[in-house]
Amino acid sequence: MTLSTFKQRMFPRSTVIALAVLATGCASFKPLPPQSGVETPAAWSMAGEQSAVNTVAWPAADWWRSFGSAELDRLIMRARVSNPDLGAAYQRILQARAQAKIVGATLYPQLDLGADAARQGVISASGSNSFALSLGASYEVDLWGRNHADRTAARAQVEASEFNRATVALTLTAGVANSYLQVLSLRQRLAIAQQNLKLAEDVLAVVEARARYGSASPLELAQQRAAVATQRITLPVLEQQEREARATLAVLLGVPAQGFDVQAQGLDGLLLPQAEVGLPSELLQRRPDIRSAEMQLIVAQADIAIARAAMFPSLRLNGSLATRGDSLSALFSQDPAYSIAAALTMPIFNAGRLAAARDVAKARHEELLLNYRSAILAALSDVDVVISNLDALEKRARWQFEARQQAEIALELAKVRYQAGATDLLTVLDAQRTLYQARDQEAQLHVLRLQAVVELYRALGGGWSESARDSDSDSELNS
């Protein structure tokens, strides 16, 4: 007998049609779009024409390049490859995708092929052979859409995992940028402290010279030496803070802190970007954490459908084809026997367990809906607060620049007057202290403005959008 003849005997046309019918579900689950109930404002509170931000467009996906630092770009690319938290988030995506395939398999019949061969008899006589070949199929008809809802929940969980990974990547990128800026800021502040120490030592040389000629008192000499010592104290403090910031950056990059370093020595070579914030109504599509909350709501909707379906009857269909003979050739020469059965089960009494499970799913959905609203409100607030902070820092920076310039003039005048004997050392000391504070505060304001831009990009979703999703999305889930 040919193989085609065996296939016709083992898989008659009517059986194939019956199996195809079994694979057809009777219901499907269609999730509803999440409704937050939050009315988004038409514009940001502080994003006017005089603001430090631009509302025309959204930031680019590679927003960090607007700072003009090739080293920062390399560090962020390195972090995206080596950071263990981001790697773990990707593994969670793979887990969710595999789970979605497992759940999706319930929508199709399960086919099992079995083959048996045996020989029996007594030792003193010849025995007999027996061979069997069977094909079994089972399928649970999705009468109430439970299996479809389960698959929808699994797919939404995959989406949520991908959005969560985007959130981790965004947080990581902002963290690397902030840590890098912090390292450069501390190096710049350290350079300012060294400059002020040199300035204090120059004044000390003048005081010592005057003391040798009796023009300066021992009190003035002690006061300036104390000022120099105080200035020296700030150096190891800033050096330790710089080492800590560098170690934090190394952890984000997924490399040991020992031996890790960056090349830049200050913030002077960086640009201050003009941030772009788009419109508030678009923020819901731009923040991956909000999109993840949406997907969790869809999962919760599906869980309600699953819990409700469990309260209704379930129908399972089973079919089998089998042939048996005393030789292999006999298996292919006779018509197989078939069996088709249907089993209908319905829960009658379960002490309220199924109803309670439905109530749990409903309460979980309401909880996630409230969390979704809270996430939207927090996101809108985050952006407005950061925009306001940028405006405030810009104003402070303008006045701090003026304060530093005047402090430099005041110290020069105080030094000239002290050398001429027209004023006391206390005036010089006060001018020194004022200038150091003005320079240090100006450096701190500079990094705060840069970090505020980073925080704004993070609050906006970092330029992320639906079209910028990772290209490794699982196309099999859409089949």
Question: Which one-letter DSSP state was computed for residue 58?
Answer: P
DSSP string, 306-366: HHHHTTS-EEEEEEEEEEEESSHHHHTTSPPEEEEEEEEE-----TTHHHHHHHHHHHHHH
The overall average pLDDT reported for the chain is 84
pLDDT tens digits for range 142-151: 888 888 888 9
What integer is the mean pLDDT of 276-294? Answer: 84
Quick check: 372 and 294 in contact, CB under 8 A? Answer: yes
Q: What pLDDT, in 10s, does the model give residues 202-256?
A: 888 988 988 888 888 889 899 889 989 999 999 999 999 999 999 999 999 999 9
CA 284 – CA 78 distance, rounded (Å)? 29
User: Which of 417, 408, 435 has its CA nearest to residue 227?
Assistant: 435
pTM recorded for the entire structure = 0.80
Q: State the Cα–Cα distance between residues 194 and 169, nearest whole angstrom.
A: 37
Domain locations in the chain?
36-110+145-313+354-478
Q: 231, 199, 191, 211: which is closest to 414 by C-alpha? A: 199
Higher pLDDT, 48 or 268: 268
Task: Output the CA–CA distances (angstroms, integers) from residue 258 to 84, 95, 249, 316, in the order listed.
Answer: 18, 34, 12, 62
Pairwise CA distance, residues 83 & 253, whole Å: 5
Closest to 277 in 3D by CA, of 39, 42, 47, 40: 47
Q: Which pLDDT value is given to residue 467?
A: 56
Q: Show the tokens assigned to 181.
A: 């800026």
Distance CA 385, CA 458 (A): 13
The pLDDT assigned to 19 comes to: 44
- 380-425 residue pLDDT tens: 999 889 988 988 999 999 999 999 999 999 999 998 998 888 888 8
3-state SS, residue 105: helix
Residue 345 near residue 323, CB atoms below 8 Å: no
Q: What is 36-110+145-313+354-478's CATH number?
A: 1.20.1600.10
Could you give the dihedral angle defined by the CA atoms of residues 326, 332, 333 and 337, in that order, rounded to the nearest 10 degrees?
Answer: 80
Q: Name residue 285's amino acid.
A: Q
Q: What is the pLDDT of residue 399?
A: 95
What is the rounded average pLDDT of the residues 430-457? 92
Residue 50 · residue 387 · CB < 8 Å: no
CA distance 306 to 52: 50
Q: What is the mean pLDDT of residues 329-347?
A: 81
> What's the rounded Cα separation, in Å, for the pair 241 and 249?
12
H or E segment to which residue 17 belongs: helix 13-22
CA gap 408, 432 in Å, rounded: 9
pLDDT given at position 280: 80
pLDDT of residue 475: 40
